[in-house]
Structure 1
Amino acid sequence: MKFNLFNYLFYAIPKHIEDTRAKRFFDLHSNYLALFQETHHYQEARTNFEVIQANIIIKGLMNKKFLENKASLAKKTGLTTLPSYLKHLTYMKNGDDYIALPFFSKTINKHYVIDTKSLADLPYRALRTQKTFSSFYENPFEKYGYKLFDSMFTNWIPVMKSPMGDSMAFVDLEVDTIYIVTDQGTLERAIPYFDQFLEIQNRKHLLDKIKQLVETYYSFDKIKFIDSLFSLGFISFKLYSYLKQEEIKAQRKENKALEKAEKEIKKEIEKEEEDDKDDQKDI
């Protein structure tokens, strides 16, 4: 089987999420996900990243219910400006907009957050039904990408964006894992650190060291990345030795395969050139 550095890291440094705040929140509130067909599948969350995604949806649904319950009061009082209960919401700032329901458009979010009284009447009252919810539901992760994780919806700490800006690195200190999230809101990579053979987990200047490691990750040099994992104190010498040995082997195999492919291509080109010469002689 072909050696894959990041798959092996994930295997070699398992992280248990059962006792994390995120998993406890999920277990306590996952019933919200059963409210609408579009959110059902988030109930199947297994990995920490999937749980974080599910929790973002849950918090959005909790905001939805909270604001809908405030609609009648807002209508009676004639409230038309940003309500004082914004402090009770989880949200993301997107320019001047408050996105409390990431699965709805900016326009609908404005009605929920700023013009809450409008939720008491049609057409916005209909958003409580499955049919209307389905009509206006948008995949929040595709829509907002990694920005959604860099908000109140998660407790992750942003580290840095990729040089091209097409992904962003975060760290979840509760599970000692770095997450690279794409601009499509998908997981590019999960990088756990602190393996079981590491004698001391040195957390001094941890965020600075994580930033250095992520910079190495974005250099796309796996050998350099493995060296950084060890030199920055993220993995034991035992794991470091194995990773480096296997990655060097894997790269040698890959280089040999490339050399073989190049030779075959060269032969095909030479054959085509010979065939062209023969055709010209016949003319």
Structure 2
Amino acid sequence: MYLYETLAKYQKGIDFKKSADYNFYVEHRHLFNSIEMYRSLFDVDNEFDVIRANIIIQALLNKKKIEELILYAYKKSYLKTEEALKFVDEHINGLPYILEGANKVFIPIFSRSINEYYSSKHGKLLCEPYNKLFDDFNSSCIDLFEVYNFELYDSLFTKLITVYKDENIMITYHFDFRTIYIINDQGRLDAKIALFDKYLNKPNYDHVIERIQPVIERYIDDDKDGMLKALADKKLISEKLINKIKHNDFKRIKALERKAR
């Protein structure tokens, strides 16, 4: 953990509270007042929680938009049922979603079965008991990060770029935050690798996805020294910061040895 905390501490020029992601979050975080399960995300103190919060916010915005379209198409317009279905389908295509086979999940705070009504069975949402989802939906909310986990982050619900994925972890990169995120199979953050520290002279931000590949390979191999070397070789962190990390590691090991005597 010390390694990742040090990289974050010395990262240069990144203030997540000045990012577009954070501005979106601040603009819409009042929506958490309507969703009990995730009310704790009304206040966040790190950029990964902003990413997570924005997934939920976008899900709520999708819900509102689809419901407005359904009410218009099926109740306020003179469209026939088939025309109403087509109208809603055409107008929800631009919304972020998760694709599971042929099914689109527009509202990941809900189960896959409920999402079917929002994506393809619109008319039934106007009938009992589904019409209760419009206003009274808290009891239908799920732990979306555990249920959908990797799929959430590998979608347009975030700006993350997936660079590696297996059954246990997903590794992504965020260009605005200049950080690698390692996400576990429950959709939670295992670690983050902040790049471009303040000691790095004339940082080069080009072709980052290609340059982080050897870093990720060493991380997967649990090769800390190899990962540090790859970070330095690809000019992603400075030699000075690496030396500082190694020096502090040496001091901590010696302190533990003295304590064990």
Q: Above 0.5 in TM-score?
A: yes
What corresponds to 1:244 in structure 2?
246
Distance 1:70 1:124 in 2: 16
Q: Which amino acid aligns with 1:247?
A: D
| Partner residue, 1:96 | 102
Matched residue pairs, number? 252
Secondary structure at 2:159's aligned position in 1? coil
Matches within 5 A, 1:137-148: 137-148=141-152
- State the partner residue of 1:26: 25
Q: Could you say which residue in structure 2 is the equivalent of 1:7?
A: 5
Q: Which runs of 5+ in 2 are unaligned?
A: none
Instruction: Give the letter aligned to residue 214 of structure 2.
Output: Q
1:191 aligns with 2:193: yes
Gap change, CA 1:216 and 1:248, over 3 Å in 2: farther
Deviation above 4 Å: which 4+ runs of structure 1?
A: 248-254
Q: Deviations over 1:35-88 (max 9, x none)?
A: 221232111122110001010000000111111112223325313467111223
Given the alignment of the two structures, is residue 226 of structure 1 paired with residue 242 of structure 2, yes or no? no
- Which region of structure 1 is more displaced relative to structure 2, 96-105 or 76-85? 76-85
1:154 aligns with 2:158: yes
Deviations 1:208-240 (CA, angstroms, capped at 9, x unpaired): 111221111111011111111111101112111
Shift of 1:13: 2.0
Note if 1:35 corresponds to 2:49: no
**CA gap 1:252/1:96 in 2 versus in 1, 3 angstroms:** farther
> Which residue of the partner structure matches residue 72 of structure 2?
73
Offset of residue 7 of structure 1: 2.0
Query: For the residues of structure 2 that align with 1:145 and 1:170, how far apart are their CA atoms?
Result: 13
Contact residue 60 and residue 102 of structure 1 kept, 8 A: yes
Percent of counterpart pairs with the same letter? 29
Match of 1:107 in 2: 113
What is the deviation of 1:200?
1.4
Q: Among residues 122, 131, 153, which one is paired with 2:128 in the alignment? A: 122
Quote how far apart the aligned CAs of 1:12 are: 2.4
After superposition, give the CA deviation of every residue in 1:234-283 in whole Å (9 maximum; x if it has no partner): 111211111123335556777x69xx8xxxxxxxxxxxxxxxxxxxxxxx
* Secondary structure of 1:142's aligned partner: helix
Taking the aligned partners of 2:173 and 2:142, their CA distance within structure 1 comes to: 27
Q: Secondary structure at the match of 1:178?
A: strand
**Partners of 1:223 and 1:246 in 2: CA distance:** 14
Q: Which has the larger radius of gyration?
A: 1
Q: 2-side partners of 1:251 and 1:87: how far apart?
A: 56
Q: TM-score, normalised by structure 2?
A: 0.89
